[in-house]
Amino acid sequence: MAWIQGTVIVTEERRYRFLDVEASSLSEQSYPIEVAWSSNKIDSEPHCWLINPYTIDEWMDWDPGAQAVHGIRREDLMAEGVEPGLVTAHMNASLAGATVYCDGGDLDIFWIDRMFKAASMGRQFQIGDARLLFHRLLGPDTAASSRDTIIEQMSQKARKAVDGRRHRASVDVQYLEVLCELVQAAI
């Protein structure tokens, strides 16, 4: 949220930031094809990049079933994607020292680390589990047995609130941002 204070525009920063990855498949040979992460400014769109797998010789895996889920074609990646090193440099610049949360667990971490390895670059941020964050936000006063139910109810509301195709990285990041806001409001 932005407001004017004197002659300076003040933009509220996000307390929690999120990450999502779409990939070529779910196999051990898979690689990231789209990555998005939250801006640190509340009123900003997520950073989102398509990744060109043709810039990495080993990245040949492709599952038509995965393409049917995310809707990203190899031709789109070749035409609009960028090399992994450009994405990793931007991620490190944007997320350095931060913890960014994802809901894809070990798979998202695998794909991010695979991209950083392909770029010969070290990751300068931590990746946390969004579901554990939401449980923590609900706090000890919320019964453990109720947390999953509350998160599921908020998840349904967040999906309805976010426009766009599910399983596109920027849309899924926006969903996690809205879900976080709803969970915090439920406290």
Contact between 22 and 33 under an 8 Å Cβ cutoff? The reply is yes
The answer to whether residue 24 is domain-embedded is yes
> What gap in Å lies between CA 48 and CA 21, rounded to an integer?
10
> What gap in Å lies between CA 32 and CA 10, rounded to an integer?
35
C-beta neighbour count of 5 within 10 angstroms: 7
The answer to whether residue 4 is domain-embedded is no
The answer to whether residue 143 is domain-embedded is yes
Q: What is the pTM of this model?
A: 0.88
> Which residue range(s) make up the domain with 162?
13-185
In which residue are the tokens 């409001």 written?
185
Q: Print pLDDT tens along the chain (187 aa).
A: 344 444 444 445 568 999 999 999 999 999 999 999 998 777 678 999 999 999 999 999 999 999 999 999 999 999 999 999 999 999 999 999 999 999 998 999 999 999 999 999 999 999 999 999 999 999 888 887 789 899 999 999 999 999 866 789 999 999 999 999 999 887 7
The answer to whether residue 54 is domain-embedded is yes
Least Cα distance to 107 among 16, 17, 32 occurs for: 32
- What CATH number does residue 52 fall under? 3.30.420.10
How many domains would you assign to the chain?
A: 1
pLDDT of the residue at 2: 42
The answer to whether residue 3 is domain-embedded is no
pLDDT of the residue at 4: 44
The answer to whether residue 75 is domain-embedded is yes
The answer to whether residue 162 is domain-embedded is yes
Quick one: residue 91, left, alpha or beta (phi over 0 = left, psi -120 to 50 = alpha)? alpha
The answer to whether residue 43 is domain-embedded is yes
Cα dihedral 154, 173, 75, 28 in deg (nearest 10):
-80
pLDDT of the residue at 153: 92
pLDDT of the residue at 10: 43
